[in-house]
Chain A
Amino acid sequence: MKFAYYPGCAVHSSAPEYGLSCKAISSILGIELIEIPKWNCCSSIDAVYANQPLTSIGLAARNLSLAENTKMDIIVLCGACLLTLSRANKMLHEDSELKEKVNMLLTNAGLNYNGSIKVRHYLDVLTNDVGFSKVSEHVKVPLKGLKVAPYYGCLLTRPPGVTNFDDPEHPKSMDKLIEALGGQSIKYEEKCCGASLVLTDELVMMEMTKRSLLSAKNAGADCIIAACPLCQFNLDAKQSDIQSHYDIKIDLPVLYFTQLIGIAFGLSPKELGLDKNCVSPKRLLKQFQNA
Chain B
Amino acid sequence: MKTETIHEITPKIQDSSFFTEVRKIAERTNFMDCMQCGVCSGSCPARFAMDFSPMQIIKMIQLGLKNIVLSSSTIWICAQCQTCLTRCPREVNIPLLMSSLKNIAIRENIPCKIELKPKFHKTFSEIIKKYGRMHEPELKIKLIKKTSPQDVFHNATLALRLLRKGKIKLLPPKTDQIPDILVLFETASKEEQK
Contact = CB atoms under 8 A, between A and B. Distances in A.
Interface string A148-170: 00000011001110000000110
Contacts of B173: 9, 12
Given A41-B132, A55-B192, A204-B49, A106 B106 contact: no
B158 A51 contact: no
Interface of B: 25, 28, 45-46, 48-49, 76-77, 79-83, 85-86, 93, 95, 98-100, 102-103, 106, 114, 116-117, 120-122, 124-125, 128, 132-136, 139-140, 143, 154, 158, 161-162, 165-169, 173, 175-177, 180-181, 183-185, 187-189, 191-192
Interface of A: 9-10, 12-16, 38, 40-41, 43-55, 58-59, 62, 83, 91, 95, 101, 104-106, 108-109, 154-155, 158-160, 168-169, 191-192, 194-197, 199-201, 204, 207-208, 211, 237, 241, 275-276, 278
Contact of B114 (A16, A45, A105, A201): A201
A153 to B, nearest CB: 9
A200 B82 contact: no
A13 B81 contact: no
Contacts of B76: 200
Main SS at interface, chain B = helix
B181 to A, nearest CB: 6
Q: Which of B28, B117, B184 has the most CB of A within 10 A?
A: B184
Contacts, number: 187
A12 B169 contact: yes
A14 B181 CA distance: 23
B86 A200 contact: no
A195 B81 CA distance: 8
Contact of B188 (A58, A154, A192): A58
A155 B106 contact: no
B81 A192 contact: yes
B125 A13 contact: no
A50 B180 CA distance: 22
A55 B121 contact: no
A109 to B, nearest CB: 5
Given A43-B128, A200-B116, A16 B102 contact: no
